[in-house]
Structure 1
Amino acid sequence: MRDVSSLEELVGALEALYERALAKGRERFVGENGRVDGKKLNQEQLAAHGLAYLATETHAARQLAEWAGACGPTERAIAGAYVGELARSLRGGIDLGACETVSLQALGLSEGDLRETILKDELQSWAEEHSSPEAYVGIAKTARDGDPGSLGLERDADGELLMEIRAQFRRFVDSQVIPKAQEIHQQDVLIPMAIVDQMSELGVFGLTIPEEYDGLGMSKVAMCVATEELSRGYIGVGSLGTRAEIAAELILGGGTDEQKKHWLPKIAAGEVLPTAVFTEPNTGSDLAHLGTRATRQDDGSYRVHGQKTWITHAVRADLMTLLARTDADEPGYKGLSMFLAPKTRLDPAPGEPEFVDQGLEGTEIEVLGYRGMKEYELSFDDFAVPADALLGGEEGAGFKQLMRTFESARIQTAARGVGVAQAALDDALLYAMERVQFGRPIFEFPRVARKIGRMVARIQAARQLTFFSARQKDMEKRCDLEAGMAKLLATRAAWESADANVQIHGGNGFAIEYLASRLLVDARVLSIFEGANEIQAHVVARRLLEG
């Protein structure tokens, strides 16, 4: 059991190093009044975001160690590779994403801090051995033979049910989604309603809605399991449930009893398809400065004027969760209100009108990937919203109501990332075993197999961190920190895996006809939406510093 104890020792050393970085960060960014200096945090983003990523990787290492401790040799090998590589690579800095690293010295850490934690000779020797090229090739061979590691769901009280849910969605994805996904992407068309209807029958849109509102009342872990499988088939299908999840969270957290009774059963049944209408062309993640106005009329209704952008599945939606400014004298968050605004659902043929409601027009935004639902810029010009559409019947509470959805939305986005990453791994394995060069399958070349082994480790780390954040949510614990970390790690895993898959395919990976090229463009969007990863790292850093 020396592997297990050494793994624990190395994770402990990583945690000790992180604690030193956190202490340095608090000295640097937290004032005598105990508050984070926001101006300084903005000025020194590299150090702050480095702390966020160090915390994320360290937390993932802890979750992998606990997962491996409850499982077998395959899981211990995967955890050892991930944790070992992290401990080896940190001396060269922290990876923040494409073209960006930050040194540990920028976080205030010294060579002495490293020597007293992760650079102890016995730990570095263990790390070198367990994250060696040979170790990764061994992991790849085990995955090739059908054992990429347990999901870890046996730790959940309803683990057997969760595995049944996974099997049910896997059958649906393999038979109904994967055969159509390439065509949907290449022709840039909406996901067929036949698939949407089958998802309704499977309970996708009401998975976590309480049974009293005709939902299935399942856990956020169950939501992750279903989302990962659907996204493995096609990210557009995996994302269809996102808007239902956001709308349901908004209504459950801030709606009146009448709003809950009216909308939640319809959302759960798939009778109503919601869309989130928050972002504006000139604000992006800066929601405090939204300009769309909702003006109250004498009869209590509202008239909406303004522009929204990146609105997903807008044509088919019958309900818009619409964030608009109701108080022109309050320029910040307090002037925002949330509406449950009905609209007409359409499924038009090419050339037919896409929006028919008076005061609402839309223009499609053509995109590289993440197709199947289509993105729109919406224009509101005296668009009518009924009086009972104001969420909770309360003006000025819109941003607070929206914030309640961030945890679930980011957990769900992390699960989408894991699903896309898993699709890339599956595709890479299949191609590497079938493609023959120089008289043998390319899987037999160490650099190909090592890539696949590393994909396995990165995906499992992201999966276990995502499940952990979902479990925290299910226990009704605050988990915005964990959800943000899961989103950071899983979206990176998706991009790295999709990129490696293209490389393994060589020139074929660049061809539109191959799945690899679609997975690459689908993976790219994940680090942008639901809070760009730069914004997410900033939020995580602030929460860490606040304690």
Structure 2
Amino acid sequence: MSYMNEQRKMIQEVARNFAMSEVLPIANRLDPERGEIPMALRDKMAELGFFGILIPEEYGGLGLGAFEYCLVTEELARAWMSVGSIIRHSTAGSLLPVDMMTPYQREKYLRKMALGDYLIAFAMSEPSTGSDVSNISCRAVRDGDSWLLTGNKYWCTFADAADGILVIARSDQNIDPKRRFAGLTAFLVEKERGKFPEGMSGQAIPKIGYFGWKTFELALDNVRVPAENVMGEEGKAFYMVSKGLEKARAQTAARAIGLARGALEDATAYAGERQQFGRPIGDFQAIRFKLAKMAAEVEASRQLMYHVCDEIDGGRRCDKEAAMVKYLATEMAEQVASEGLQIHGGGGYTTLFAAERYWRDARLTKIFEGTSEIQLRIISDHLLGKAKS
């Protein structure tokens, strides 16, 4: 089955040319010094419509689906995963589904999001809460026609430079402990770029990769949010986030595949240039077989991603398959990136080559958007039913 039509081929070509000519040189220059994604690059992405891929045409977006979203993501991530990730921050890719916004919110935000003029960060995890959403403790208390948010959030990437932060907080404190995933509400905290709103402070978390932007620990002390900024139904944030997980996991797989492709392409080029014992190292079977295996694994993951995207765009449930592609692609990316670094030898362990960047960033893909262990749990629950508590 061929998933590619002429429109998709054109979108892929545009994204690939942009990634290789515009993004890659910037990544090679800024990542080693932990520089941030330039605003000028974001503006160029906006001109190409990358922030509006999933936004309906009536609001200035492209009105396309998960397939095109992941096509563009793979190309951008091949150059710099951080740039492949920033397109999530218009409608958070899927964490803020358009159909769960009120008509007022769509009019207010979507046109600006499609232009890249309104980007959001996502604050769900907490210092003691990762995948176990039921343990979120950040509190939301009603105060007249607004809410007051108090608590701590962790792993909030882009919190400083975003125009708003989508905060998941507990709005109902009297929920049955067995149903603690209920009672969570999503609040859009609006802010000025480069600053935090009144009552919020942030401290950058030191990371070993995913450069180009900062990731924060946030402290909220009675941050006031208008009631009209409740996104989705009150108490139903868990369902809102869950609704978008299939698309989000497919997009994470696309990021991992892009990284792996970068590692493969760079290692292939290096194998043709690097001379040892009087000939290119690409002439040696050990290197040739490494590259062949890497290529096969990248393509296998890509084809599964295409299938998952096709299922999502067809409106078919595929949470098991989305977990599978997220698991396989991210595990593959770390291994392929590691082999790419090995082929570069000692040079791969320097910042003179992008091999180490692919390796560092690939390692993260196994953690965010649900760890590999979480994906295995989802898959096994489909196969065996949920384990008895």
TM-score (norm 2): 0.96
Aligned-partner Cα distance in 1 for 2:295–2:312: 26
Answering whether residue 173 of structure 2 is matched by residue 328 of structure 1, we say yes
For 1:226, the aligned partner's letter is V
Question: 1:245, 1:409 within 8 Å by CA — same for their partners in 2?
Answer: no
Cα pair 2:188 2:230 within 8 Å, conserved: yes
Query: Is 1:183 matched up with 2:29?
Result: yes
Q: Provide the C-alpha distance between the structure 2 equivalents of 1:338 and 1:409, rounded to a whole number of angstroms.
A: 17
Q: What residue in structure 1 maps to residue 247 of structure 2?
A: 408
Matches within 5 A, 1:86-485: 155-156=2-3, 159-246=5-92, 250-298=96-144, 300-330=145-175, 331=177, 332-346=180-194, 355-392=195-232, 394-485=233-324
- Following TM superposition, by how much is the alpha carbon of 1:172 offset from its aligned partner in structure 2, in angstroms? 0.8
Per-residue displacement from partner, 1:393-431 (whole Å, max 9, x unpaired)? Answer: x32111011111101100100000110000000000010
Aligned residues: 383
CA distance in 2, matches of 1:544, 1:269: 43
Larger-gyration structure (1/2)? 1
The amino acid that maps onto 2:139 is: R
Check whether the contact 1:247–1:274 (CA below 8 A) recurs between aligned residues: no
What is the rounded CA distance, in whole Å, between the counterparts of 2:112 and 2:379 in structure 1? 35
Aligned equivalents of 1:281, 1:311: Cα separation in 2: 11
CA shift at 1:543, angstroms? Answer: 2.3
What is the rounded CA distance, in whole Å, between the counterparts of 2:186 and 2:269 in structure 1?
Answer: 47
Following superposition, the deviation at residue 369 of structure 1 comes to 0.9
Residues 327 and 336 in structure 1, CA contact (< 8 A), matched pair in contact too = yes
Q: Higher mean Cα deviation, 432-441 or 165-174?
A: 165-174
- Compared with structure 1, are the counterparts of its residues 248 and 456 closer, same or farther at alpha carbon in structure 2 (3 Å cutoff)? closer
| Contact 2:91–2:120 (CA under 8 A) maintained in structure 1 | no
Q: Equivalents in 2 of 1:180, 1:453: separation in Å?
A: 29
Name the CA distance, whole Å, in 1 between partners of 2:27 and 2:77: 11
SS in 2 for 1:217: coil
- SS of the residue corresponding to residue 186 of structure 2 reads strand
* Structure that is richer in helix per residue: 1
Rounded to whole Å, the distance in 2 between the matches of 1:313 and 1:286 is: 22
Paired residue type of 1:337: T
For the residues of structure 2 that align with 1:543 and 1:344, how far apart are their CA atoms?
44
Tell me the secondary structure at the aligned position of residue 246 of structure 1.
coil
SS in 1 for 2:96: helix
Equivalent residue of 1:199, what SS?
Answer: helix
- Give the stretch that moved more between structures: 279-288 or 512-521: 512-521
Q: Which runs of 5+ in 2 are unaligned?
A: none
Aligned-partner Cα distance in 2 for 1:497–1:247: 26
Letter of the structure 1 residue corresponding to residue 43 of structure 2: D
Whole-angstrom distance in 2 between the partners of 1:510 and 1:436: 18
CA contact (8 A) 2:138 2:170 kept: yes
* Alignment check: 8 A CA contact 2:54 2:93 kept: no
CA distance in 1, matches of 2:341, 2:247: 31
Unaligned runs of 5+ in 1: 1-66, 68-154, 347-354
Look up the match of 2:328: 489
Q: Is the 8 A contact 2:148 2:222 kept in 1?
A: yes
- 1:82 is matched with which residue? none
Counterpart code for 1:377 = E
Tell me, in whole angstroms, the C-alpha distance in 1 between the residues paired with 2:94 and 2:306.
21
The Cα of 1:546 is off from its aligned counterpart by: 4.3
Following superposition, the deviation at residue 248 of structure 1 comes to 5.5
Residue in 2 that maps onto 1:71:
none
Partners of 1:248 and 1:267 within 8 A in 2: no
Describe how 1:13-28 pairs up with structure 2 within 5 A: none
**Letter matched to residue 23 of structure 2:** V
TM-score, normalised to structure 1's length? 0.68
Native 8 Å contact 1:178 1:234 kept in 2: yes
